[in-house]
Structure 1
Amino acid sequence: MKLSSKFLILPIAMLVIACGGNDELAQKKSELEEKRKEVATLNSEIEALEKEIAKLDPEFGKTVRKSVLITTTTPSKENFRHFIELTGAVLSKKNVAISGEVSGRIQEVRAVEGMRVNKGDVLATIDSESVERNMDEVQKQLELATIVFEKQERLWKQEIGTEIQYLEAKNRKETLEKNLSGIKTQLDRTKVRAPFTGTIETVNVRLGELVQPGTPMFQFVGESDLFIEADVSERYVGIVGKGDSVEIAFPSIKQTLKSKVSSVGSVINPNNRTFKVEVFLPRMENVKPNMISIVKINDYEKDNAITVPNYLILQDSKGDYVFVVENEQSKKRYITRGMTYKEITEVKEGLNGSEVLVDKGFREVGDNFTVKITE
């Protein structure tokens, strides 16, 4: 089948136009790229010339320099406090090892690790069979001695018999009474009891084990007389002292309180180069021995201190400085740092508190830069 020539001409014409359009677009893009390169080169040459002229003519530099957009802030005048932050642990002055006072085999162990007990609660029982037998024997001897003494006493009142017989009977009875009292005390000691209210830390005996007087059976921690102990670096020797104010936080129970340093150690630990401090801990609900706490000791405080945020302080070969705004220009102002705590630094010299400081944009400015303050 043959097609008419007029149907072939149209597609060919469209193809020619399309090819021509693409060539023109590519050419314009190429021209644009070349112009951009020329502009970049010219800008670089202009900037280099401006720098060279500014070195020879500072006034020219001021006129061509563009204004830098900044925000501002002011120094603060406040009660500045510095803290030493430490991790401490809650301890008890009533942390004792409970031992048996009589020998024998363990018949019962009631206490388990972590158990809270009250004063007088029985923790363990030691076999008391031999003690009980001894007590029965002495009891019978005492009954007989009492009868003999009473008869001898009646005879003595009737002036029958000798005084020696009376005194011997009395002494025999009193001696057995004392022996019986001692055996009862010994029998009571077969019950190992809690000396005060607290918590069982460790159990060191097992059922059926033979123990002797003085054998450690339990490690026991009381719930009263609690304090916090923390390690302080030796570089704070002479800085941290007894009576210093302390802020305590318990992260696990989200509670805080204020207290004071109650004791400062006098020996440096050679292993970690620290000394120990104790902080008084008042009675608190939910605070338990061995609980972790964050201890902040206030080692420095000054009223009406001039402070600035840490990030505004820069450094060069001459020292620390900040940028202040004067007559729409940024100026270097050298300062003397004081103490730094968290994000705030005390300024001891260089600022009086009335200055306007460059805040946002402080890294884009330099000395004698023209600035424009924006919100």
Structure 2
Amino acid sequence: MNKHLHPLTNMKTFSQLSLAAIVAMTFSCGPKEQDLEAKKEQLATYKDDYHSLKDKIASLEEEISEEDTTFAMSNRKSVLVTTIPAEKQAFEHFLEVTGNVLSKKNVNIGAEVAGRIEDIKAKEGMRVSKGDVLVSIDAESVDNNIAELETQMELAQTLYEKQKRLWDREIGTEVQYLEAKNRMESLERNLETLQTQKGKASIRAPYNGTVETVSVRLGELVQPGMSIINFVGDSDLYIEGDISEAYVGVLEQGDSVMVEFPSTDRVIQTKVTAVGAIINPSNRTFKVEVFLPNLKHVKPNMISVLKIKDYENKDAVTVPTNLIQRDNIGEYVYVVKDNKAIKQYVTKGETYHQKSEIKEGLSGGELIIEKGFREVTEGANVEIVKN
């Protein structure tokens, strides 16, 4: 053997000759010349020889690597990785807050007359139309007053008509005529008032909507002003959310808003209709109100997610956020250059939905190590495989 050959060449030659010998021995004995047991014994022998040879190769490689760093680098195994390009695309950042669907027609309906609850037609969750009777109050006392006034009205009207005929014939005084007329008109107004009160004994839906709660029971005595029903209208819905004071001045009336309803997987585009002018001292937020069009499957008190765009870069370089690592120098990603893993330090901008904007360090198109990025080190050999 030539003593000037590199140790690596010697090792590789030894390995190739040994393996060739094993292969030659395997095929030199045809299946017709060996029985099954002999084959098994021969296979066991070959395996022992193979493992012994692998150990010798590994030991020799280690010895050479300690004395020859160039050999160590070239002999290092490549790490299998996948890559993705640093994308150059439009990047948007959204402020996401939880909002509640509310109604401007969320009212407590109270009694306007005193009496006992005579009938309750409304039930919690019931959808009703404008004018439907929800609760009836016993109006017996009002009915009695109406009957009494109607009797008085008959007499007053008779006296007025007689006095008018006399006055038309210039009999009697004008005062007598005016007194009879005034008494009749006064009784008419009182009767109208009582009839209005009787109408208020039937509590009706002020508009189309849903009965939320019923606060009274059958036979219960109620007084004017007492709350009876909580009622929510179908229209004039809006969404209200609390925004951190850090965004004061960022949001304005008319800004576009994307609204998601997690319970229905529905997404709509709408606008900010009002921005609060006061900071809540308890949570350091201000109110924002968002317009909500009439939607079939949206109800008051539903949870929504408001997505308000507060930043945009139409020509940004982006990478998946999870690929960005940090050391004592700064943040970096691994890129592939000449089949090696290289640390590329970057300056990160905004992050949204697992994507990060890269302000400095990447120009777009670089191959970023994706799968295997935690297994590589600076300068490691890598082999790119397809996903």
TM-score normalised according to structure 2 size: 0.79
Taking a change above 3 Å as real, the CA distance of residues 33 and 358 of structure 1, as seen in their structure-2 partners, is closer
Q: Please tell me the residue identity of whatever aligns with 2:280.
A: I
Q: Is the 8 A contact 1:69 1:373 kept in 2?
A: yes
Q: Percent identity?
A: 53
Q: Is the 8 A contact 1:269 1:275 kept in 2?
A: no
- Corresponding residue for residue 94 of structure 1: 105
> Gapped runs of 5+ residues in structure 1?
1-24
- Corresponding residue for residue 336 of structure 1: 347
- Corresponding residue for residue 288 of structure 2: 277
Map 1:1-375 onto structure 2 (within 5 A).
44-47=62-65, 49=66, 54=69, 63-265=74-276, 266-268=278-280, 270=282, 272-375=283-386
Deviations 1:102-123 (CA, angstroms, capped at 9, x unpaired): 1111111111111111111111
Task: Please report how far the alpha carbon of residue 234 of structure 1 lies from its aligned counterpart in structure 2 after TM superposition.
Answer: 4.5
Deviations 1:169-207 (CA, angstroms, capped at 9, x unpaired): 111111111111111101101111111111111111111
Q: Please tell me the residue identity of whatever aligns with 1:268.
A: N
Taking a change above 3 Å as real, the CA distance of residues 253 and 66 of structure 1, as seen in their structure-2 partners, is closer
Q: Hey, what's the Cα distance between the residues in 2 that align with 1:121 and 1:26? A: 94
1:294 aligned counterpart, secondary structure: strand
Q: Is the 8 A contact 2:245 2:279 kept in 1?
A: no
Q: Please tell me the residue identity of whatever aligns with 1:144.
A: L
Q: Hey, what's the Cα distance between the residues in 2 that align with 1:330 and 1:34? A: 34
Q: Hey, what's the Cα distance between the residues in 2 that align with 1:313 and 1:352? A: 16
> Gapped runs of 5+ residues in structure 2?
1-42
Q: Is the 8 A contact 1:73 1:356 kept in 2?
A: yes
Q: Is the 8 A contact 1:244 1:299 kept in 2?
A: no
Q: Please tell me the residue identity of whatever aligns with 1:247.
A: M
Q: Please tell me the residue identity of whatever aligns with 2:158.
A: I
Task: Please report how far the alpha carbon of residue 26 of structure 1 lies from its aligned counterpart in structure 2 after TM superposition.
Answer: 11
- Corresponding residue for residue 11 of structure 1: none
Q: Please tell me the residue identity of whatever aligns with 1:207.
A: L
Q: Please tell me the residue identity of whatever aligns with 2:98.
A: T
Q: Please tell me the residue identity of whatever aligns with 2:279.
A: V
2:102 aligned counterpart, secondary structure: strand
Task: Please report how far the alpha carbon of residue 152 of structure 1 lies from its aligned counterpart in structure 2 after TM superposition.
Answer: 1.4
Task: Please report how far the alpha carbon of residue 330 of structure 1 lies from its aligned counterpart in structure 2 after TM superposition.
Answer: 3.3
Deviations 1:82-134 (CA, angstroms, capped at 9, x unpaired): 22333332211111110000111111111111111111111111111110110
2:146 aligned counterpart, secondary structure: helix
Q: Please tell me the residue identity of whatever aligns with 1:363.
A: R
Q: Hey, what's the Cα distance between the residues in 2 that align with 1:288 and 1:113? A: 15
Aligned residue pairs total 346
Q: Is the 8 A contact 2:128 2:209 kept in 1?
A: yes
Q: Hey, what's the Cα distance between the residues in 2 that align with 1:28 and 1:308? A: 51
Q: Hey, what's the Cα distance between the residues in 2 that align with 1:238 and 1:335? A: 30
